[in-house]
Amino acid sequence: MSELYQKLEKIVTKKFISDSLIVRHAYSRVVDPILQGVPEIVIRPKDAMEISEILKVANDENIPVIPRGGGDDEFGGSKPIGDGGIVLDMKRMNKIINLDEDNLIATVEAGTSWGKLDDYLCHFGLYTGCMGPGSGMTASIGGGISHQSVGGGGCAKYGTCTNQLVSLEVVLPTGEIIETGSQANKFSKFPFNRFGNGPDLAGLFCGDNGIMGVKTKISLQVYPRPPFAAYKTFILPRKDRQTSSQIMLEVRRKGIDVYDLMYIMDLIVRIGCEQGMFPMWEQLKKKRGIMFYTVEANSEQELDEKVKQLDTIILNNKAEELGPEISDGNIAKWHYAEQGHWQFYHNLWGMVPALEPLSCECFTPVTMYPKILDDIDQWDMAHNEDMNKFLEVTGQRPITGSGPIFLIDGNNVELTCGFTSFPSYYNETIHEEWDDLNLKLWKSLMEMLTKWGVQWYMMGEIASRLMVEIEAYLPSYYKTLREIKKILDPKTILSRGKFDFWGD
């Protein structure tokens, strides 16, 4: 047992630390099929004080620390970059600390899942608004904040996870514990507002991809769930990319507080039907793009008015409404009423055995995504030879395009694009060259998108390093970011390797 292990064991006691090779491999992967890093030690800390002590030891020993929430990210973010280091499994810290029913603020430990909080809130007629990341109800609230995530539903109305942030308790990489927002004032009785008392320091940790501090306690604004909702699905006319974009813009211009507005491109509809995945859309004569909306209201009258306005916009754009039931193709009802959360990704990702996503999920303006999608088509054709290498073995060519594209804050969408591919172990054979090939393709597509000016939010290992590698950051921005990191984390203990600050 190493000296490091003994020091850490003293902090958390032996039940909550492991250097078992088996346990370490359990924490060595996230959602993508190629990136792996096996930690040296895995720890399940119980509170901020323990994390503070762990980080102090890590600084003394110069060993990197990687926080891991739900482990749902798709960019290699919550496992080590390369082997070694300490993984902090934050899921032990999963308590709902308080619900301030007057001010509608919930305070939780950072390892709490969005699903757990939402289940708790529902007993009070409340919900989180933005339903967290799209990876299911496993993702942690700390992870959502660290990635500015969206995708679970409600993001057209409420925006990304970080929009509802009120205050944070964060353990800095050197072990100091700070609180932000209203809690920066030691006389504050309870968290109530994010902004004020100086700069928005919470913002430094929103979307930091785990490099600036370990979030331990999070206060979120929560919302009353409106009692009325409507959900409709439409098939779009030809040129569905442009039409869907136009609809999103018109909805925003009209100021309708639509809860969800999602476009599913024709490729997904067509291939999904070919693979037998969408019986609800098989009756469609032309497999064109699909669009759905969900809208909420406090009264039937209000709901009717919103529905009328939304329908007018969509039908004027020559879309055709599908029937009201899920069996009629109304996927909006499936998401909102039956599943309670967007679950579409689960069905898309497993189209054929071992087909997994190499995601390039990013934010982009509504006006831009149709052109980006066209460019993605071109990229796919340009890489046909490489793609066919997978086809030759698997019988299935990787699929490039975008999953759901949905309205988020302002006039922006989350573009869940990328391609699906195969891991190096396929049909009882190891194809070692596939890891390199996948990585090359992944970075190539990501580079193309970066040059469209998209915003990466869940950056992890791959996107954060790529931005540096292709010199996409404005030098002044990157220099400032690096200097802030240097001040907070002089030894680059936390999430070492992300953003490649010192060629690490």
Partner 1 sequence: MSELKNIKKEWKAIMSCMGCGDCGYSIRRAVGRYLTCPVKEAKDDEGFEIYFSRGRMNVLKSVLEGKLPLSRELAEFVYQCTECANCTEVCHETHNENIILNTSKWIDHYKVWDALRKDLVEAGFAPLDRHKDLVEYMNREDMRNPYGEDNEKKFEWLAEVTNLKDKGDIVFFSGCTMPLRQQETLKNMIKILSAGGMEIAISRDEWCCGSIGARIGEYSSVEELMKHNIDLFKRMGAQTVFTACAGCYRTLKKDYPELLGGDLPFEVKHITEVMIDLLNNNKIIFDPAKTEQIKVTYHDPCHLGRHMDLYEIPREVVAKIPGVELIEMKRNRKHAWCCGAGGGVKSQFPELAKDISKERIMEAIESGADILTTSCPFCVGNLKDAYEDLGAEVKEKIKLIDIIDLIASKI
DSSP bridge partners of 22: none
The interface mask with partner 1, positions 221-260, x = CB under 8 A, is ----------------------------------------
- Cβ atoms of 86 and 54 closer than 8 Å: yes
CA 109/CA 140 separation, integer angstroms: 9
Q: Is 42 in the site for partner 1 (CB under 8 A)?
A: yes
- Beta carbons within 8 Å of 186's beta carbon, 6+ residues apart: none
CA 67/CA 431 separation, integer angstroms: 31
- Cβ atoms of 281 and 290 closer than 8 Å: yes
CB nearer to partner 1: pick between 347 and 384: 347
Closest distance to partner 1 from the beta carbon of 433 (Å) = 14
Stretch that binds partner 1, among 27-35, 206-214, 226-234, 405-413 (CB under 8 A): 27-35
CB nearer to partner 1: pick between 161 and 172: 161
CB nearer to partner 1: pick between 83 and 374: 83
3-state secondary structure of 393: helix
- Kindly tell me which residue out of 30, 108, 267, 291 binds partner 1, with binding defined by CB under 8 A: 30
- Cβ atoms of 169 and 107 closer than 8 Å: no
Q: Is 92 in the site for partner 1 (CB under 8 A)?
A: yes
Q: Is 428 in the site for partner 1 (CB under 8 A)?
A: yes
- Cβ atoms of 361 and 414 closer than 8 Å: yes
Classify residue 41 as left (phi > 0), alpha (psi -120 to 50) or beta: beta
Which residue in 117, 65, 110, 72 sits closest to 92, CA to CA?
110
Tell me how far CA of residue 288 lies from CA of 27, 246, 403, in angstroms: 40, 16, 14
CB nearer to partner 1: pick between 230 and 251: 230
CA 143/CA 88 separation, integer angstroms: 12
> Angle CA(308)–CA(314)–CA(318) in degrees, nearest 5?
130
Closest distance to partner 1 from the beta carbon of 71 (Å) = 5
- Kindly tell me which residue out of 2, 6, 10, 20 binds partner 1, with binding defined by CB under 8 A: 20
- Kindly tell me which residue out of 203, 323, 365, 423 binds partner 1, with binding defined by CB under 8 A: 423
Which residue in 271, 401, 413, 450 sits closest to 347, CA to CA?
271
The interface mask with partner 1, positions 200-219, x = CB under 8 A, is --------------------
- Cβ atoms of 70 and 144 closer than 8 Å: no
Closest distance to partner 1 from the beta carbon of 491 (Å) = 27
Max Cα–Cα distance, the chain, nearest Å: 70
Subset of 97-136 contacting partner 1 (CB under 8 A): 113, 115-116, 118-119, 122, 135-136
- Kindly tell me which residue out of 5, 40, 46, 228 binds partner 1, with binding defined by CB under 8 A: 46
Q: Is 21 in the site for partner 1 (CB under 8 A)?
A: yes
CA 274/CA 269 separation, integer angstroms: 9
Subset of 322-381 contacting partner 1 (CB under 8 A): 326-327, 331, 334, 337-341, 343, 346-347, 349-357
Closest distance to partner 1 from the beta carbon of 349 (Å) = 5
What is the secondary structure of 200-249 as a DSSP string? -HHHHHTT-TTSS-EEEEEEEE-EEPPSEEEEEEEE--SSHHHHHHHHHH
Closest distance to partner 1 from the beta carbon of 413 (Å) = 23
Q: Is 430 in the site for partner 1 (CB under 8 A)?
A: yes
What number of chain residues touch partner 1 (CB under 8 A)? Answer: 69
CB nearer to partner 1: pick between 53 and 179: 53
Closest distance to partner 1 from the beta carbon of 365 (Å) = 29
Closest distance to partner 1 from the beta carbon of 235 (Å) = 16
Subset of 264-283 contacting partner 1 (CB under 8 A): 275-280
CB nearer to partner 1: pick between 134 and 370: 134
CA 37/CA 85 separation, integer angstroms: 9
CB nearer to partner 1: pick between 157 and 341: 341
User: Which stretch of DSSP H or E encloses residue 362?
Assistant: strand 356-365
Site residues, partner 1 (CB under 8 A): 15-16, 18, 20-23, 25-31, 33, 36, 42, 44, 46, 70-72, 89, 91-92, 113, 115-116, 118-119, 122, 135-138, 275-280, 326-327, 331, 334, 337-341, 343, 346-347, 349-357, 423-428, 430
